[in-house]
Each structure stands twice: as C-alpha cells, then as structure tokens.
Structure 1
Amino acid sequence: MVTVTAVHGDITRQQVDAIVNAANNRMRGGGGVDGAIHRAGGPAILDDCIARFPDGLATGDAGWTTAGDLPATWVIHTVGPNYAAGERDRALLESCYRRALEVADEIGARTVSFPLISAGIYAWPLNDAIDAAVTTIATTPTRVDEAVLVSFSEDTHRRVQAQVQRRFPPPTDEGSVGRLFERAPAQMGMRGDAYLWLALRAEFATTPLPPTWFDLRPMVLQAAEAIIGAPLEHTDDPIHVPEFDPGHGMSAGNVLPSWWHDTGIPILIDRYEAAHHEGRSQPATD
C-alpha cells in the first residue's frame, strides 16, 4: 500500500524516482511548477516532450519524459483542469493523480513527488485540491511505495500535512509518548482537535515517555501550542486553525482548549499511569 508524506520544499530538488509536473495541454513548458521543472531539468525535458507529445496532452491525462538534470530519473507530466477557466469537474483533477500513478507503475517508479495539481494559477479551491490529492492517491491501486506531496509555501504545507496525517498517521515507537495517542477519543467530535491529536501523535512518534506524568502535561501543551500557533489557556473560547479546516463546517478547524485541559490531557495521563502500573512499554489505549 502506498504511503503519503507531506514535504515543505522545492519539488525540483526531491530525491525520488519520478517528479510529477503540473503541465499544460501544449506540453511545451510554462509557468509555475511547469516552468521550474523545465528550467532545473534543462532542454532535454522539452526535447522529449516534443518527441513524445507532438499533439500535446489531454486534461486529466499523464505521460513521462526524461528528467534531464533533475535528481529524479523521470518526469511524469499531467495536465490539471483550469478551474479559473471553467474546468470544474473534480473527476478530471482526480484523473491526474490516478494517471500519474499508472504511468509510475509503467516505468517502475517506486517513489514519486507530486505538486498540488491545479491549486496554483489554475485556482482550484485549496482545501478541495488537497482532499482530491490525498483521497485519490490513497484509493488508487499502485506499486508505488511512497508518494510525496510537496508544497512550496509554508501555509499550504501545513494544510496538506494535516490531511496527510489524518489519512496516513505515522508509526509510533514502543514506549513513546506517541503511543499514548494511538487511539483517538470519541469525545473530540468533528472539531479540529482531531487533527491536533494526530499532529501530536506524529510529533511524539519517537519521543520516549517522560519519568512522570507531571512532566507529560507541559510537554504536550508546549507542543500543541507550537503546532496551532496560539496558547492553550483554559477557556471555552475556540481557536480556529486554518490548516485543520477541511471546509466541511464552521467548527471543523476549531481547537477547544477546555477540552484538552478537562478531557484530552487527563486521558493521556490515565494511559501513562496504566502503562507504568502494569509494567508495560506500550500504554493502554482504553
């Protein structure tokens, strides 16, 4: 099964088998990611595009060329729908990811880096573009081992990372603080607290349990505040975190500080104490 990770950086510098290019129908280079890939890869990419795609490429389709001077072996070109020009069929956007993975299987690529297709100058709504990327990659049968979603801006990366962690939570080490977060409590409902829970699980995936539960509370609070960018003071006033908001409701991106102080952290402390009381390296999850 493919795993998905989120990376903040430059897609042209990714050390992977194949880089996905958000191309246009002409397949002769362009702006944004397309232009950056052609500039970094050199003229060999354009020469291959002309040879392989004399008539261009249809929206939603994909094909491959050499990667030229890029650290990857191949560039997989795909043409996303132009939302700003009225191409608003999400099936076309999903097809870009699906076809790119199919092409990756054809050429034997096992690691593939994707940009967020159509979310730039083509103006596809950001939250839906992220959902289309993560959901389609997660549900497409493929021999690709790892798909990397690369975002150039920090804000976009944080939004992508929140959705990736929801769908592909990283493994946690035995005896780690991350193990305390293995089972999410139902009391969180549909708020952004569920995303913060998963973000903390990832943050502490390899962090050893502290000596006492008294050390656990400030550790969790400090990490949570760094993630959401606001203090978790004991209050019923919600904190809206944009990257935790998938756009499905007014409270979807809200973190409720009082829930963490009254419910979330006590649950973690109970699990911590149960693990030590029973002499187990893996904390209880009930």
Structure 2
Amino acid sequence: MPVIVAVLGDITTQDVDALVNPANAAMRGGGGVDGAIHRAGGPAILRECVARFPGGLATGDAGWTTAGELPARWVVHTVGPNYRAGERDRALLVSCYRRALEVADELGARSVAFPLISAGVFGWPRADAIAVAVGTLAAAQTRVEDVRLVAVDEGTYQQIRAALLVTSPPPVGAGTVGSLFEREPVQFGLRGDAYLWRELRARFADTPLPDDWFGLRKLLTDAIEQVVGEPLTGDAAVYVPRFDPGHGMSAGAVQLPWWARTGLPILLDRYAARVTR
C-alpha cells in the first residue's frame, strides 16, 4: 500500500515521477487542471497526446505521455466521468485511480501526484470524490510508494486530510502522547468527535509523554481548543469544517462537553495507568 498524503498547492509544481491529468475524452487539452497541465508542460504534451491517442481515451481509462517542461517525468492522463453530463457510475471514477496506478507501475514510477478527479468542472460531489480517491488509493496493490492527493483550496485539503486519518492513520511511537489514542472510545457524541480523536492522535504521534498529569492536560486542552477554535469550557457543539464530509453542520460538529467530561478523563486515566506500571 502506498503512503498517501494530502498536499495543498499546484499539481503542476509537484516534483514526482508522474502526475495525473484529469483529461477529457478527446485528449486534446481543456480547462481546469487539464488546461493548467498542458500550459505548464508546453506543446510536447499535446503533440504526444495526438500521436498516442488519435481516437481519444475512454472514460475510466488511463494512458501516459511525456511531461514536457513539468518537474515530473511523465503525465498519466485519465478521463473522469462527467457528473454534470449524467455520467454517474461510481465504478468509472474508481477505475480512473486504479488505471492511473497501473499505468504508473508500467512506467516504473514510484511517486505520483493526483488531483481530485472529476470534482472540478465535471461536478462530482466533493465528499464522494474524496471518499473514492482515498478508499481506492489506500486499497491499491501497486509498486508506487508515494501518492500525493493535491488540493487547490484549504477546505478540500482539510477534508482529504481528515479522510486519510481514517483510512491511513500514521503510526504512533511507544511512550508518546499519540499512543494514548490507540483505542477509540465507543461513546463519541458526534461524528466530529471521532475525527478530532484521530486528528489529535496524528498530531501527537511522535510527542513524548510529559512528566506529569498536569502537563498532559494542558497539552491536550490547548490542542483541542486550537482545532475547534473555542475554549473547552463551552457547553455546546462546535462546527469544525475540516471534519464535515459535506453532509451538513452536524456531521462536522465536536461536542465540547464530551471532551471536557469524558474525552480528557479517558486520556488522563490511560496516562496514569502507564506511568504507574
């Protein structure tokens, strides 16, 4: 399974073996990310598209060309389904990611940068586009080692990152604050609570346990307040956009009373059990 990371930035600047272009079926360049890749890579990409794909490319399929003047060695082109035009078969979107990795394997690429396929001008709902991307890439059997999911805006980046914390959580070291989060509680109040738990686990994956209970409590309280943007003394749920998959405010809500009265005590009890062994 490749290591998958979320990246906020411009896919055309990614220094990888191959970057994935969400092309149109004609394979002659277009708008959005497709147009940006052709502009940044120069005319060599289009010339090779014409030569290698005279009849275009089918939706869900993938093929490669030179990367021209881009930092990458190759461009892997894949044609995503156009949701706005009625192409709503999820299997086609899944196929884009699978076929792109298959082509990357044929090329010997070890690092690949993906955009969020079909989520731009093709209109695929963003939450499901993220779910397809993360789920398919995480389950892929591939020799690609480094996969970057590149987002062009902060909101999309945060949602991809939150999804990755579920499917591809980072390892945590023994004797770290992150290790206190290894077993999730079953009584989370809202969906956002589970995401905050995973966010904190990742944030403290390498942080050594502090010397005392009071130091740990401050560390956790400060981090929770930074993520949710409210003091932990609040008595209500707080909406956290990065934890919302697109289903509405309740889906991204964190329940402050649960954290103050249940979440922190769970973590502090685990800490006490470890230091008194």
Which structure 1 segments of 5+ residues have no match? Answer: 279-286
Q: Kindly provide the amino acid, as one letter, of the partner of residue 274 in structure 1.
A: A
Equivalent residue number for residue 266 of structure 1: 265
For structure 1, which segment, 243-252 or 148-157, has the greater mean C-alpha deviation from structure 2 after superposition? Answer: 243-252
Equivalent residue number for residue 255 of structure 1: 254
Distance change (3 Å), C-alpha of 1:270 and 1:79: same
Equivalent residue number for residue 178 of structure 1: 178
Equivalent residue number for residue 283 of structure 1: none
Q: Kindly provide the amino acid, as one letter, of the partner of residue 263 in structure 2.
A: G
Equivalent residue number for residue 109 of structure 1: 109
Equivalent residue number for residue 66 of structure 1: 66
Q: Deviations over 1:234-282 (max 9, x none)?
A: 41x212223323356874322111111111111111121222112xxxx
Maintained 8 Å contact 2:59/2:81: yes
Where do residues 1-286 of structure 1 align in structure 2 (5 Å cutoff)? 1-188=1-188, 191-235=191-235, 237-247=236-246, 251-278=250-277
3-state SS of the aligned residue for 2:251? coil
Whole-Å separation in 1 of the counterparts to 2:230 and 2:260: 15
For structure 1, which segment, 155-164 or 68-77, has the greater mean C-alpha deviation from structure 2 after superposition? Answer: 68-77
Whole-Å separation in 2 of the counterparts to 1:232 and 1:108: 50
Whole-Å separation in 1 of the counterparts to 2:153 and 2:252: 20
- The alignment-based identity, stated in percent, is 64
Distance change (3 Å), C-alpha of 1:23 and 1:234: same
Whole-Å separation in 2 of the counterparts to 1:189 and 1:259: 7
Whole-Å separation in 1 of the counterparts to 2:253 and 2:73: 42
TM-score normalised by length of structure 1: 0.91
Maintained 8 Å contact 2:105/2:142: yes
Whole-Å separation in 1 of the counterparts to 2:224 and 2:23: 38
For structure 1, which segment, 91-100 or 138-147, has the greater mean C-alpha deviation from structure 2 after superposition? Answer: 138-147
Q: Kindly provide the amino acid, as one letter, of the partner of residue 185 in structure 2.
A: P
Maintained 8 Å contact 2:13/2:70: yes
Whole-Å separation in 2 of the counterparts to 1:270 and 1:103: 50
For structure 1, which segment, 216-225 or 82-91, has the greater mean C-alpha deviation from structure 2 after superposition? Answer: 216-225
Q: CA RMSD in A?
A: 1.7
Whole-Å separation in 2 of the counterparts to 1:249 and 1:120: 20
Whole-Å separation in 2 of the counterparts to 1:89 and 1:76: 22
Distance change (3 Å), C-alpha of 1:77 and 1:229: farther
3-state SS of the aligned residue for 1:77? strand
Distance change (3 Å), C-alpha of 1:23 and 1:172: same
Q: Deviations over 1:157-209 (max 9, x none)?
A: 00110001111001122322111112211122662111111111111112222
Q: Kindly provide the amino acid, as one letter, of the partner of residue 245 in structure 1.
A: D
Q: Kindly provide the amino acid, as one letter, of the partner of residue 188 in structure 2.
A: M
Whole-Å separation in 2 of the counterparts to 1:89 and 1:190: 31
Whole-Å separation in 1 of the counterparts to 2:106 and 2:231: 49
Distance change (3 Å), C-alpha of 1:179 and 1:132: same
TM-score normalised by length of structure 2: 0.94
Whole-Å separation in 1 of the counterparts to 2:173 and 2:257: 29
Whole-Å separation in 2 of the counterparts to 1:247 and 1:152: 17
Q: Deviations over 1:81-135 (max 9, x none)?
A: 1111111111111111111111111111111111000111111111011001111
Aligned residues: 277
Which structure 2 segments of 5+ residues have no match? Answer: none
Whole-Å separation in 1 of the counterparts to 2:72 and 2:228: 34
